Amino acid sequence: MDFGEKLINLRKKNQLTQKELAKKIGVTPSTISKYENATHKPPIFILAKLAETLGTTTEFLLDDVAGLREKNSVNAFPLIGNPELEKWYLELPYSFSEKELQLLKDISNVIESQK
């Protein structure tokens, strides 16, 4: 079962229309349709909202990191080719506080300025 099919099944299980789900997570109904029809993949922060709203985990929705690499994905991963780093990158929003993420961004900016 792919991401879109899982999303449809969970939405229906939760007795939500596309419009209702869209409102709960802050997107448009057409965006939900695109996710369900596999023409777009959600960004990580929307994926987290979907999982929480539908009572599941991001891991269940994705199965694996590779599914996000499809050419029609709206996500751009700078670490493609290194699955261990990519997995770590994807987990950042869930395991770090906003302050810690800002610190990582600041460190990255300093490294970039040194080049």
Average pLDDT estimate for 6-16 = 91
Residues 6+ apart with CB under 8 A from 25: 46, 49, 50, 53
CATH class name, domain 3-61:
mainly alpha
For residues 81 and 34, which has the higher predicted lDDT (pLDDT)?
34
Please determine, for residue 47, whether its predicted confidence score (pLDDT) is greater than 80: yes
The tally of CA atoms less than 13 A away on the side-chain side of residue 78 is 2
Residues 6+ apart with CB under 8 A from 98: none
Instruction: Compute the mean pLDDT over every residue in the chain, rounded to the nearest whole number.
Output: 77
Residue ranges per domain, the chain? 3-61, 77-114
Please determine, for residue 79, whether its predicted confidence score (pLDDT) is greater than 60: no
Average pLDDT estimate for 57-82 = 56
- Percent of the chain at pLDDT exceeding 90: 30
Question: Taken in order 10, 15, 93, 26, is the CA torsion positive or negative?
Answer: positive
